[in-house]
Amino acid sequence: MQVGVLASGTGSILRAMLERRIPVAVVIADRPCGALDIARDAGIPDELVERTDFSKNFDRVAYTDRVVAALRAHDVDLVTIAGFGTILSPPFVEAFGGRALNTHPALLPAFKGWHAVRDALEAGVDETGCTVHLVTEDVDAGPILAQEAVPVLEDDTEETLHERIKEVERRLYPDVIEKMVREGVRQ
Ligand code: GRF
């Protein structure tokens, strides 16, 4: 079983996956980022499929095709999204539906989207958390595989709360991935 990781950030979740010996075949990023450095340091193939257009004319389908081609080139069976900053188009789900996972820093269906931690703080909830789910065409709406709550503390900032959520993600996400790798995913 070959796992592909899509990331855009510091890569702390990727690092946790590697510490758990998840068989990562390639790390793909949409911008230069810490996750690519972690892959290089670990001797894992990395690919920068750079997104240069952040305008409304961005050709999302063409970009998605490049990501799918890179995943296929590395014979990826299971895609794990770990903080990837570009929403992919339907051709991604057509290629990897049922074999693509995402971790989201909120208790879905609450606080979908890129600012989930900030939105939870602004809503004044006393707990939020993280969710591991299958990727479907609707963003942050696929079947939920695991969830864990994290309390919001009085003096939390977006950074402190996100870091506590990520501590949980670094355990929960590898747990789910490990299970899928062990049991196999339906092709
Ligand atoms: C995680 O909270 C993930 O859920 C979110 O981006 C963060 C990635 O963190 N969408 P890192 O780059 O692995 O540290």
pLDDT digits (tens, 9 = 90+) for 168-179: 999 999 999 999
| Structural domain span for residue 162 | 3-183
pLDDT band at 185 (very low <50, low <70, confident <90, very high): confident
Pocket flag, ligand 1, residue 104 (CB < 6 Å)? yes
Catalytic residues: 104
- Asked whether residue 186 carries a pLDDT value surpassing 80, the answer given is no
What pTM, to 2 d.p., does this model score? 0.94
User: What distance in angstroms lies between residue 95's CA and the mean position of ligand 1's atoms?
Assistant: 23
CA torsion through residues 73, 180, 144, 8, sign: negative
Pocket flag, ligand 1, residue 101 (CB < 6 Å)? no
CATH number for 76:
3.40.50.170
77 phi/psi in degrees, rounded to 5: -95, -35
Mean pLDDT on 120-144: 96
Number of domains in the chain: 1
pLDDT band at 184 (very low <50, low <70, confident <90, very high): confident
Q: Which are the contacts of 155, defined by CB distance < 8 A and separation ≥ 6?
A: none
Indicate which atom in ligand 1 lies nearest the CA of residue 16.
Answer: 13
